[in-house]
Amino acid sequence: MSWDVASKLNPEFVKIARMSLPRRRAVFIAGLVAALVAGGGWLLWQQSAPNVYHNGNLYLSDADLWAMQTRDFGRAAFEGLSVLLFCLLFIVAPAVAGVSFVYERLRGTAVFQQMTLLSPFRQAAGKFLGSGLFAYFVAAMLIPPALFAAYLGETNPYKVLRIYLFLLVGGLCWQAIGLFVSASLAGSPEKTLRGGLLVGPLVGVGGAATALALGHYFTVDIEALRDTQAFSISGDYYNQYNYDYYLEQGRYWWRFYGAAVPAYLVVLGVLAFVGAWAFAGAVRRVKAWQLIPTGPRAVWLFFASAEAVVVGLLWGRHVSDATPSERLIIYLLLNSCALVALAGASAVGRGRLSEWWSVARDPVALFQREEIKNAVKTYLVVLGIAEAGLAALWLSYHLHPLTGDLQSLTFPVNLAAAGASLGAFALGAAAFIQFCAMFRFRVGGVAGVALLTVFYVFVTLAGALFDKRNNTFTLINPLLYTETLTRGDTYLDSYLEVREPRIELRGRGCEVREEMVFAPPKPAMRTLGYCNPLIKDCVPRGGTVVYEARRARHRDMAQSHARGLVAQTLLALFCFGLAGLKWSRTRGEMLGGRAAAQVD
């Protein structure tokens, strides 16, 4: 018995390794993979043979033809192996992680997992590593030939590094998401668990979609693109940096709290963030499953950090950016979805209420329960975080894009209206979802979320039927309300022009001409002075900023704002009224029903 190695590793991992990859199976898989790689390589080599009758190849020597075939083979093999690695790490490993806890339930071993003395962290870590074991094993066999193929194909090493970072971080992220979903289902009732094994493929599909959507940020050869472009312009040093700036403004450079960051780094950061929180969420779900008391602080921390990331990505005005109002709406949409999801997850269903009321006859005793207190506290804290993020974003759009100075002191008026709108929506939505959860819907709070979505789609469509865009139906929707609020705003819905000095190289020195106007989407030269070491001293910092409203403001703007806010507040109060009535009626029904049963 091999006690030594196993005794040093995570027992959960060792168990999964012994079950999924015993020695004989590992040897078989290794042989199979080696044979497939060798066979595929041979086929690719044959396909990569250059056509010697091709005009361009007629006069090439055998050595050149050999080099050409080797390079083509290397490129094709690297691409093929990379696709295989993506499939393994983005689809297979997450899919297996997605069924890890579900499978324990279906197999009947979940009760042992619930009573284990392994800490939830070690348990989740063991499942996390174990679920990826097969994929890691095969990937470990494929990576060396893939790297060799990249070398043969003369692939840019930075591109290879980017791809492998994406593979690693993205794969682990989706694996963590799979684990979280699986851990969330571990404690669910049998009915919910039906079809639980479908979760794995669904998570795999999510991983594949992510790889397809974001892969180009990593597979594009930015260095080659830049070099080619720079030389095609003129080949001189100045244009090299000019093109750098162009890239900075383009799709491969994003901004985080105003700083230009390569898009792939932002994507990697976001994936790592999501993965880390998904893993933390999985650990928390395991804790809840094992009935270990959990406090609400981790949830607050998650929302605070997620908000910080979202605000960072949407932060500030930039030269090429015309529509901060749209970014505000994206922010509000994300927060509305998060709040509604949180309300749906925290809603107390009829079954739970019935259970609690069965032992607590005092109408207010229920509010003393930790579950309810924590849910209410968490919802209010998350709403507060969302409001703080909204204020920070709103403020950032009023800062001078070059100097960072605050340019308006009147912005809190509209900000307060948008904040109140978000607050009214969040509270009303929570009340409505709780109202729906007290009906006999099996899905509880989820039904409320669905109905709420239908309601807002309906009022939006109804609002679109009116000629006037600022009608009450439209203004009930907090996103459209904010859109109306910011329409034609100097800072939030305007084109931005930056008047800056223009630099022209003259021999070894440079000449600065003032009052050259740059308007989006033309590439502005603002950062030119900072990144070109040759001319940085010639360029004065800052410049003149001119805002030009993009659209006209509505005529009765003040009245619209007030009307929208009143409508949203009334709607929220109506939802609270409904929830309160349903609450007391449900309580009456349950207590009455039980009294009758006891008499029987």
Residues 6+ apart with CB under 8 A from 6: 14
**Applying CB under 8 A, which of residues 228, 358, 408, 584 lies at the interface with another protein?**
358
Contact with another protein (CB under 8 A) among 69, 70, 116, 527 = 116
Q: Using CB under 8 A, pick the residue from 43, 161, 209, 292 that binds another protein.
A: 292
**Angle at the Cα of 221 from the Cα atoms of 224 and 519, rounded to 5 degrees:** 80
Q: Does 6 contact another protein by CB under 8 A?
A: yes
- Structure tokens given for 579: 């929830």
Q: Is 356 in the site for another protein (CB under 8 A)?
A: yes
Return the biggest CA–CA distance within the chain: 103
Q: How far is the CB of 1 from another protein (least distance, A)?
A: 7
Q: Alpha-carbon distance 512 to 77, whole Å? A: 51
Q: Indicate whether 192 belongs to the interface with another protein (CB under 8 A).
A: no
Options 69, 219, 290, 320; binder of another protein; rule CB under 8 A: 290
- What torsion, rounded to 10 degrees, do the Cα atoms 577, 580, 586, 591 define? -140
Pick the stretch among 78-86, 134-142, 286-294, 510-518 that binds another protein (CB under 8 A).
Answer: 286-294
Helical residues (DSSP H) of 215-321, grouped into ranges? 216-219, 222-233, 237-249, 263-289, 297-314
Contact stretch for another protein (CB under 8 A) within 9-17, 146-154, 231-239, 426-434: 9-17
In terms of CB distance, is 116 or 188 closer to another protein?
Answer: 116
Name the one range near another protein by CB under 8 A: 161-169, 352-360, 446-454, 576-584. 352-360
Say how far apart CA 402 and CA 410 lie, in whole Å.
Answer: 21
Residue placing its CB nearer to another protein in the complex, 465 or 597: 597
For residue 331, how many C-alpha atoms fall within 13 Å in the half-sphere facing its CB? 32
Q: Is residue 193 involved in binding another protein (CB under 8 A)?
A: no
Segments in 132-189 forming alpha helices (H): 133-152, 157-186
Q: How far is the CB of 600 from another protein (least distance, A)?
A: 12
428 touches 575 (CB < 8 A): yes
Q: How far is the CB of 300 from another protein (least distance, A)?
A: 23
Q: Is 191 in the site for another protein (CB under 8 A)?
A: no
Distances (CA, A) of 447 to 354, 382, 404, 538, 582: 18, 22, 46, 63, 16
**416 near another protein (CB under 8 A):** no
Q: Are 390 and 331 in contact (CB under 8 A)?
A: yes
Asked if residue 368 binds another protein (CB under 8 A), the reply is no
599 binds another protein (CB under 8 A): no
Using CB under 8 A as the binding rule, the residues of this chain from 539 to 598 that contact another protein are: 590, 593-594, 597
Q: H-helix or E-strand containing 495?
A: strand 494-506
What is the binding site for another protein (CB under 8 A)?
1, 3, 6-7, 11-12, 14-15, 18-19, 22, 107-109, 111-112, 114-119, 290-293, 350-351, 354-356, 358-360, 590, 593-594, 597
